[in-house]
Structure 1
Amino acid sequence: MKKAILFASFGVINEQARRNCIDAAARQIEAAYPEFTLRQAYTSVFIRKKLAEQGVHVDSLTEALDGLLADGFAEVVIQPGYLTAGEEYEKKVLQVVEPYRQKFDQLVISRPLMERPADGADMLAVLQEILPLEAGEDLVLVGHGSPHQHNPAYENLQADADKAGFPVHIGVIEPTDTPDFAAVLARLQDKGAKELLLAPLLLSGGAHVNEDIAGSEPESWLNRLQAAGFSVRVSLRGLGEYPAFQKLYVKRLQEWDF
């Protein structure tokens, strides 16, 4: 019986970020499950269109599932690349997959990395390992956020970090979501922080990191933090570059009986 794992992420245009983050995470999954065929899908229409203009084709989730059916796969496990179970995951994974449930002998949708409050402990342990702080530094992590539906995953992770005494302050890029820049700035000022490590809470690097987080524009997080008087060290690496983070996807897959 042919079996496949489908790694479904939002996607990224930047070739280096794609190779070092998303493809690297996919390879970690492939190594853990050698009896499965590993395939990928990008859920972002915009990113797939931009890649196509560069001559690069990546399947949509629908295309990938149709391809697996055509190739005779009976068992399929979908591992979302998403960190949180936000509106993108609901609309572009759960809703898309639903019509395919009866078309395979077994179709499993695994979980995003921070779907449940209890998942924060795993993520926090990885963050402490991969983002070591220098003496006196606080860590500022910037995730994506959701434009229309608030996602509590970031606040849950912040609560876990505060309880553990880990000096991290978590915000999101999406301007209509929280915790926003103002909330993070208030935390930093209340604590009296002076030196920061700024890093993405994102699977991959690319435009969000190079522009929204650490870009040259006045509204980037880096420039706003520096304007507020902080000394800022920057990490541009998407989390997918780190093997310890990649292994969280394997841990999610290990929750399922397949």
Structure 2
Amino acid sequence: MKNWKKMLAASLAVTACLGFAPQATEAAYTLNPEVKDATPALKEAAQIGVLKHETPELQNEANKDAIVVMSFGTTFKDTRQKTIDATVDAIKKAHPDVKVVTAFTSHIIIDRIQAKEGIKYPTPEEAMKELKDDGYSRIAIATLDVIPGMEYAYDKAVYDNYKNQFKKMTLGTSLMYWQGQEDQADDVTETINALKSQFPKQGKDDAILIMAHGTPQVSNAYYSVIQAKINEMGLKNVFVYTVEGWPSLETVMPKLKAAGIKHVTLMPMMMVAGDHANNDMAGSDPDSHKSQLEAAGYKVDAYIHGIGENKQIRDLYVKRANDAWDALEADK
């Protein structure tokens, strides 16, 4: 084992005698018997992947289980039905006897949907309070986030703030989490394989630009990993860019010129085809991505569909939800 791996294992692992183990089967860090007294901070640092918490004083409560599916949400009703609702329905189908609640993390979107459609989606906090009041004791949280960025940090904050109120709680991972580290899954390649099922046929003059959201967090680096995996898989002239992060459209455009591209297909790598897809990406304003590319001389098509419309992507989200559920059921 390389030195850095030894150091990582030593810093993250704790002894089995303390009753601590990695928080999910995906987290393959080896327990190190030399660590005799793991501090709470070290234990928390070692929680990677699907998170799991049990509250000792509530262990005598009867099991009453629920799944909470967290999404940012969208005010675009049509795409919401085809993406978020369709994915939640698939999770419900996989767990027919379990209560499944959809919670939106965007409070603004919740208010706008309620005003326009008369539908009230709960915030994650409201969902947790209602489930607690209704006697639910074990909660599996599933997320419809694409990467573990700022929105996923909200999911984890909800988990941290409410886990002690329930007998048991788990938090699943985002669509892309593991990157193929040693002994780990490669969620990124798995997602790209699902995403490429919707790619149009390309000629040598064609490019596909995949629009991601971007995040102010360091997890924005995921987009570099995604691009590296795309290149590694031999997908030619397929580029990732972001609306609110790096790389931007301006970062990618010189690559199009260098490759002699004449035709570009734009498509979002977001759960829904909402405001970013319809306006920032494919809008008619001069500053939209489509307009900028056309002004630069490219022929541009736009694929205005959220990735939640892609069944292969929905299947992956169900898989992530199942991971959270399996962790809830483990050692029942």
Q: Determine if the TM-score, normalized by the shorter chain, exceeds 0.5.
A: yes
1:51 aligns with 2:113: yes
Residue aligning to 2:12: none
Task: Tell me if structure 1 keeps the 8 A contact 2:148–2:219.
Answer: no
Classify the secondary structure of the residue corresponding to 2:264.
Answer: strand
Classify the secondary structure of the residue corresponding to 2:220.
Answer: coil
Task: Single out whichever of 97-106 and 8-17 deviates more from structure 2.
Answer: 97-106
Q: Name the structure, 1 or 2, with higher relative contact order (CA <8 Å, separation 6+).
A: 1
CA radius of gyration, larger in: 2
Distance in 2 between residues matched to 1:61 and 1:160, nearest whole Å: 33
Superposition RMSD in Å: 1.5
Q: How does 1:18-167 map to 2 (within 5 A)?
A: 18-54=80-116, 55-90=118-153, 92-117=154-179, 118-136=186-204, 137-147=206-216, 149=218, 151-167=220-236
Residue aligning to 1:7: 69
Structure 1, unmatched stretches of 5+, are: none
Amino acid at match of 2:123: S
Residue aligning to 1:185: 253
Distance in 2 between residues matched to 1:77 and 1:131, nearest whole Å: 33
1:129 positional shift: 1.2
Distance in 1 between residues matched to 2:198 and 2:136, nearest whole Å: 37
Cα deviation per residue 1:139-161 (whole Å; 9 max; x = unaligned)?
11101111465511111111000
1:236 aligns with 2:284: no
Task: Tell me if structure 2 keeps the 8 A contact 1:21–1:203.
Answer: yes
Distance in 1 between residues matched to 2:262 and 2:322, nearest whole Å: 41
Distance in 1 between residues matched to 2:230 and 2:217, nearest whole Å: 26
Q: Which runs of 4+ in 1 moved over 4 A?
A: none
Classify the secondary structure of the residue corresponding to 1:152.
Answer: helix
Cα deviation per residue 1:112-147 (whole Å; 9 max; x = unaligned)?
111232321111100111223343432111011114
Q: Aligned residues, how many? A: 255
Classify the secondary structure of the residue corresponding to 2:254.
Answer: helix
1:173 aligns with 2:236: no
Distance in 2 between residues matched to 1:218 and 1:150, nearest whole Å: 30
Task: Single out whichever of 196-205 and 246-255 deviates more from structure 2.
Answer: 246-255
Amino acid at match of 1:230: Y
Cα deviation per residue 1:10-68 (whole Å; 9 max; x = unaligned)?
00001111111110111111111223211100001111121122222110000011111
Task: Single out whichever of 5-14 and 179-188 deviates more from structure 2.
Answer: 179-188
Amino acid at match of 2:266: L
Distance in 2 between residues matched to 1:132 and 1:115, nearest whole Å: 26
Amino acid at match of 1:26: V
Q: TM-score, normalised by structure 1?
A: 0.94
Distance in 1 between residues matched to 2:277 and 2:195, nearest whole Å: 17
Amino acid at match of 1:139: I
Structure 2, unmatched stretches of 5+, are: 1-62, 180-185
